[in-house]
Amino acid sequence: MRTFEITEKEVAAAFREAESGEAKKILAALFCKEEMVKPTLDDYKTIRTYEDACKALGEPIFEDPNNLPNHIIALMKLETISRALWGRNFQPKPDGEGSKVYWYPWFALWTKKEVEDMNPEQRGALLSAFAIYGAFAGFGCLDAGGRSSSAHANFGFRLCQETEEKAKYFGQQFIELWAEYLKFNFTVGNRLK
């Protein structure tokens, strides 16, 4: 039998680079003390999966007896995760005066090459133009009014975080759930499965 020597620094680097929650769970089980990986509302990075969020919040894991659409279940899970990431002492409140900044999770589901390789119909499902009184479809929505252009994110406030760092973590750590929530009439690349 061979013995491998792995430093704490190497384990930490592997943990940061792991793309899926499952890979991070395996690394944590192999190399971390149980206390370090226990989900808690005091450290958002301990929330690595939907199940971790439920555990930290003391809520049961959602079982779907009604056969809801997958994107609805994914949204419900993202809302639970968002509350867990907020932590024990933070409760966001809408700010009509605009004095507070909240960050919407950010991520990329496709590479530039994958978008370029899409046929026009697939790309059309991904990006759309603005239609007033119409539906916002796809992930990108472009709008030009007056003399300037603008971009909009028309998704729920409940998914925002109070820091850019948390928003980035939320988007990237839970990329599979985001893909499930946002996809419409097209298939997400194999690397997310």
- Under 8 Å between Cβ of 95 and 160: no
Alpha helices in the chain (DSSP H): 8-17, 21-31, 34-37, 50-57, 70-86, 112-116, 120-126, 164-173, 175-182
Residues of the chain with pLDDT under 50: 131-142, 146-151, 153, 193
pLDDT of residue 133: 41
What integer pLDDT is reported at residue 137 of this predicted model?
42
User: What pLDDT was estimated at residue 14?
Assistant: 80
With b for 16 or more beta-carbon neighbours within 10 A and e for fewer, the 4-24 pattern comes to eeeeeeeeeeebeebeebeeb
Torsion, Cα 161 162 166 172, to 10 degrees, reads: 30
Q: Specify the pLDDT at position 33.
A: 59
Q: Which distant-in-sequence residues (6+ apart) come within 8 Å of 106 by Cβ?
A: 167, 168, 171
Residue 64 has what pLDDT?
87
Asked if residues 172 and 44 have their Cβ atoms less than 8 Å apart, the reply is no
The predicted model scores a pTM of: 0.61
What are the two backbone dihedrals, phi and then psi, of residue 29, each rounded to the nearest 5 degrees?
-65, -35
Identify the pLDDT of residue 78: 95
pLDDT of residue 138: 43
